[in-house]
A = this chain, B = another copy of it.
């Protein structure tokens, strides 16, 4: 809705024949917005087409079917997020420094890509395992990768020993829920969560809270020894 509302073709024709073709990435962006807003089942191809200023038939001409379009939206988001995570993780510094870098990167990514968190949550939460296997596996393997990373850090003593899966799932929840619940969050904070200032604030909060989650067993131990 931000870009080119209502019959927003690049050039208007009497009957809409090819003018300058609508860029594919613009279609994917519109689809992401609608899928994020209504969920996979609730999003109709007509909605997405209207959002991009084309017709349903044209949309299907480009993507084949609804599922392929959805998959393209999701792999776009997951791909960029994944390379962001890898970039942060392979950077310099000790465990906590790299952990902070990844956390900040994830927050900035989710803040800069409205709807991304909601898509990931829907995929993470989906139970009809058979319907969209590849995408679901991609999400699952991302969490599994995070879990393995944490386990390695525990092995090398950089992180207190604890169940890495429980920790990974808690971290995923910490990062995703805030942005996925964008409207509730915004209602509480009186400001759009995607505003730069709030993204910075969340980045700071996540840094402190993410570390606390990782180091929680150590704190609990100190507390009991007090």
Contact = CB atoms under 8 A, between A and B. Distances in A.
Interface stretch (A7-15, A22-30, A62-70, A121-129): A121-129
Contacts of A173: 173-178
Nearest to A96: B223
Dominant SS among interface residues on chain A? helix
Contact of A216 (B37, B169, B181, B208): B208
A23 to B, nearest CB: 25
A41 interface: yes
Given A139-B184, A177-B124, A177-B172, A205 B163 contact: yes
A202 interface: yes
Contact of A184 (B38, B143, B180, B187): B143
Contacts of A118: 125, 127
B168 A188 contact: yes
A213 interface: yes
Given A176-B177, A213-B212, A216-B212, A127 B170 contact: no
Contact of A39 (B39, B167, B170, B175): B39
A165 interface: yes
Contacts of A220: 208, 211-212
Given A170-B205, A173-B175, A174-B174, 19 more contacts: A37-B128, A39-B39, A39-B122, A122-B125, A124-B177, A143-B184, A166-B202, A168-B188, A169-B185, A170-B177, A170-B178, A172-B181, A173-B173, A208-B216, A209-B213, A211-B216, A211-B219, A212-B213, A215-B219
